[in-house]
Structure 1
Amino acid sequence: MKKSRPRGWRRVLTSAVAVALGVGIWAVPQASADVSEDVTAAAINRCKPQEKWINHLATGGEMRIMFELCVASNGKAKRNAFARHIWWETYSPPGNLFGVFTLVIRLERNDVRKSHSPCVFTWEVNNLSTPDGSVPGTCNAGTITTNLRGGWTADGYLAYRRVGYDSRNQHWQLAGTGSIR
């Protein structure tokens, strides 16, 4: 009968090799397919993919928005929450599709907001079927300095109002990240 090694043996081996080589960078095996974590020395960056389809656009089409929601630490006293790799595809002719299209990212500690920022993409989603090089690919909640450890997460929502369909803003609550120190 073949002996099996404990599940975490690759992580230990990978980190030992990286430290021995002086690289200091290694990938942590993912607990599930929808969570990623990058570790650089003591810095941590935990991300969770987000995807939303929005139907019933004024021109009869639909759109899909995708990005990663992340919480990060520099391993010392800096904490940040942000969305990265923001991308959308509009399956509709460009036009006046949205009256509001705002991504709000929050940095939270134990579900209490510590920092937040709205990023308005209304003009971009109305005029570009997909983002071009002029569209920022990130939305940053802001970096804070604190000695508090544990319970740091990223969360937020997308506020949108479809022209000719919604009388008020709709809110899509994002799936928050796991916590970091």
Structure 2
Amino acid sequence: MDRTKKILVAIAVAAMAGSATTPAVAGEGQNARAAEVTPAGGRGKCDHYNSSSRPFRRAPNVAVGVSVNVCISKTGGNPGTYYATTRTNWYGGFLIPGVKRFDEFSVHLRLEKNNGNKQTIVCDLTRDINTHKWSNGTARKCMQDGYVGSAGGWSSDGYVVYDYDGDGKGDRKWQLKGSPAIN
């Protein structure tokens, strides 16, 4: 197990040991180009994805591990309808009442064909990650509208823009592992 995964597991275990279960609540994402921020589920199963995980730490108000799956899926024949999706989970050690973890935490998702951008959306998870200690096993899903196209070379890619509350350093970028390509 690599160091990042060990840290995420340790944060999750500490969070579960330290408090009662928090109910999962659907996000109220700010929409950009038909973005949805909802508990995971919905259109189709996603077998084609890559996962990125990392801890976020900044004393005194941030100690949270985040995992994001970047997925590509298809419905129909040829042409088919292609969907880019992310599923985001977090495992936090604590929440301080009235104190935010982040000023911004948003997922930027691209649907690509042969590495050329076809659609981009932004899903704002700031409210959810600041309000809920952890995602409680219910990932927040970000999904763009379906894009109809011919087979071959479809994938999804993305990154997270985050800004720790009150650190004065502004936005930072975390590049996510893109999905494998499908036909």
Q: TM-score, normalised by structure 1?
A: 0.67
Structure 1 unaligned regions, length at least 5? 1-39
Q: CA deviation at 1:55?
A: 1.4
- Residue in 2 that maps onto 1:146: 149
- Residue number in structure 2 paired with 1:74: 75
Query: Percent same amino acid at aligned positions?
Result: 22
Alignment of 1:129-168 (within 5 A): 129-131=133-135, 137-147=140-150, 149-168=151-170
Retained in 2: the 8 A contact 1:57–1:97? no
The 1:119–1:165 alpha-carbon spacing in structure 2 relative to 1, beyond 3 Å, is same
1:172 paired to 2:174: yes
Note the 1:20-99 alignment, pairs <5 A. Answer: 45-59=47-61, 61-76=62-77, 77-84=80-87, 86-94=88-96, 95-99=99-103
Higher gyration radius (CA): 1
Distance 1:176 1:166, change over 3 A: farther
Report what 1:6 is aligned to.
Answer: none
> Structure 1: which 4+ aligned runs deviate by more than 3 Å?
none
Give the partner amino acid of 2:148. Answer: T
Shift of 1:67: 3.0
User: Following TM superposition, by how much is the alpha carbon of 1:44 offset from its aligned partner in structure 2, in angstroms?
Assistant: 7.6
- The whole-number CA distance in structure 2 between the counterparts of 1:122 and 1:101 is 5
Aligned residues: 136
Give the TM-score of the pair, scaled to structure 2.
0.66
- For residues 93-125 of structure 1, give each alpha carbon's deviation from its aligned partner in whole angstroms, at most 9, with x where no partner exists: 242111101011111111111112111111111
C-alpha distance 132-92 of structure 1, shift in aligned 2 (>3 A): closer
Q: Is the 8 A contact 1:44 1:75 kept in 2?
A: no
Distance 1:126 1:75 in 2: 38
Q: Say which structure, 1 or 2, has more relative contact order (CA 8 Å, 6+ apart).
A: 2
Shift, 1:132, TM fit: 5.5
The SS at the match of 1:168 is: coil
